[in-house]
Structure 1
Amino acid sequence: MSDTTTRALTLLNLLQTHRHWGGAELAQRLGVTERTIRRDVERLRDLGYRIESSAGITGGYRLEAGRAVPPLLLTDDEAVAMAIGLRIAASQRLVAGAETTITALAKLEQVLPAALRRRVVALADSVQPTGPDTGEPVSTDVLGDLALACRDHERVRFSYTSATGQVTKRRVEPHALAPADRHWYLLCRDLDKDDWRTFRVDRLTDVQHTRVLFEPHPLTSDEIDEFIHVARSWVRQPVEADAVIDMPLDEMRAAFGQWSQGATAEGAARTRWPVGGADFRETMYGLSWIPEGVTYTTDLAEPARSALRECLDRMLRALDDRSAS
């Protein structure tokens, strides 16, 4: 393979792994001049790849969609991940039907070396769907757009329909996509709220790329998991109550972190915080996280109120019963 061909393939691989590259950056990475980059781009265009170019300080190159799917360059790990994803997608409602997924999988596995096919089979067999209820269907277009925005640190706009049916326009900096409890969630920085937010992807529509890049905020994997866990819990519960806490809203948010979602100011010195669970025990657990020494009131309704009082009375008698020690 000639140096020119090798360089063009390397350039194509770079264009496939990022939405936008500056001409100077590409030249530096490949160790050539920007003029050589322009010639290699033209070679790729002659092969059917649609590459958009723009001039100016922020100018550069971007791989665009064409009338047909051109050949893709995949690493071994990328090919295995794609094949596994296609196997799972057939049963997870990520596409209109399983037939499309299976035919795509057949085409991919047909060209995989035997060793990679064995990896696909072994790994796919160990990945189990979350359950028979596959949740709401997710648009592959939306999921793909959000994945690219997360990868490239690009701001996007979209419409979001809340659980109550309210539609709002959002401007966000996408950080991560995560599946949980048969749903997909987008973790992002909401530019209008200037805070972290988590959105159900099946409630997202009209995703628009802005081509405005951002510097991502550092988050650990544990912090991402906690955000998603909070989002999964943030649904209407069988037993719900409000706790009015003797803490200003800013202090409460600092103490509760992501779990302060839904909290509102109740005057200058108090905060109203919704808390709930499957039964009074889970509601009690939530209330137990209010910081030590901070007083509060709650409007927990009957019969959960009486059940909680009876449970606490027994706990106090058990603690006071010295004969048990």
Structure 2
Amino acid sequence: MADTTRRMLQLLTLLQSGGRYPGRDLAARLGVSERSLRRDIERLRSYGYPVAAQPGAAGYYQLDRGTQLPPLVLADDEAVAILGALAVLSATRMPGGLGESAAGVYSRIEMFLPKRLRPQVTAWRAAIEASPEHAAVVAPEALATLAEACHERRVVRFRYAVASGAGGRSGERSGDRSGEPSGERLVERTVEPHRLVHRHLNWYLLAWDQACEDWRTFRLDRIVDLTALTRTFTARELPEESASAYLAQGFTRDRTRVVVTVAAPRDDVAVALAYQHAELTPIDAATTQVEFRLDDWRWLILTLAFLDADFTIEEPPEFVAAAARFAARLAHHARPLDVSVVP
């Protein structure tokens, strides 16, 4: 690589870090005169990089935000990190969603990957699997529109898919199935968007509903006909310390409390229930109390059945009875294994 090209890439890497650099400091780091630095800056500008310059004793160079996306210079670890993240996202293979866009970006970046990095990235992508049946489809355009509206404090209007007769403080219940909103009642909402939250493979919007005059959460895959209005709003104080905390609270609101005692240390139970929303309280070194908030007990019966530890369902009585009926049903349909026919 020619010295000039190497120096240009080094200069671009420095400017892309986002800081302001005095010309004297940049020239010293590159090992050139300030006159040569000015020529290099002009070359970058001719390539489409919007380099701003502030003259004077306190002057500096800074890479501005432009109207076009110029080429980026990435370090090895940055390139691998980006491709790894894109590989995870594209592995969902959900048509029309972020996974589809990620796959296209992955292919374009991979074309320019140095040979020394290809084995690592190729092995990474080949080893990754995802569960597309659980990932809700969200259009990148919808995410971009809502993110921009949150930042610019612009009111948005959309239609939201809800089950017939659904209500409550949240825009939807976490127990709802993911997927397209067809076949459900569409309700028009005008809201003040504040935060986007990614939780359990779904995207949620926390917003102030102008009609209800209260906070609501909306799942993005259930939003259609999204429009950002020109009308703006004044940001409100969030109802909890964070949007994630409010969403987590919504998952337990108006649901049945179920208490289970598990004969295992708290840390072991936490690992076994890593993807469940539950409150764990150690009773002693070998016993843990687990509290769930549910609107459907069936999945919990299955989860408990696969725990590698003894457990006791403490309350409510209805769940104790439901678990007993389920156990009796399994016992009734089970057949003893005839070991004589096993090879």
* TM-score over 0.5 for the pair: no
Task: Give the number of the structure whose alpha-carbon radius of gyration is greater.
Answer: 2
TM-score with structure 1 length normalisation? 0.45
TM-score, length-scaled by structure 2: 0.43
Between Structure 1 and Structure 2, which shows a larger proportion of helix residues?
Answer: 1
